[in-house]
Amino acid sequence: MPRYEFRCRECSSTFEVDRPMAAASDPAACPTGHADTVKLLSTVSLGGRSAGGRAAPPPAMAPAGGGGCCGGGCCGG
């Protein structure tokens, strides 16, 4: 179940709420009882592991050269 982070405008505390995605926009009361809260924009970092437990390899890079302002290396040098 997704976890959403909120901040209380009255006491400035932050707290998390687990709820279904269908309820993502529903208001959440502060744990100390305040009702004036705002949902924070969270960034998500997804990291993968391979079957052997090692970190997944980085994505493949595009081939070098042949583009950009130099059109393949005509301006350096």
Q: Is the pTM of this model over 0.75?
A: no
DSSP string of 17-46, one letter each residue: EE--GGGTTS----TTS---EEEPP-----
pLDDT score recorded for residue 66? 57
pLDDT score recorded for residue 42? 73
Q: Among candidates 64, 13, 14, which has minimal Cα distance to 3? A: 14
Residue partners of 1: CB distance under 8 A and separation at least 6: 18, 19, 20
CA atoms within 13 A on the CB side of 11: 11
- For the chain, list residues with pLDDT below 50: none
pLDDT score recorded for residue 22? 95
Q: What are phi and psi of 70, to 5 degrees?
A: -90, -15
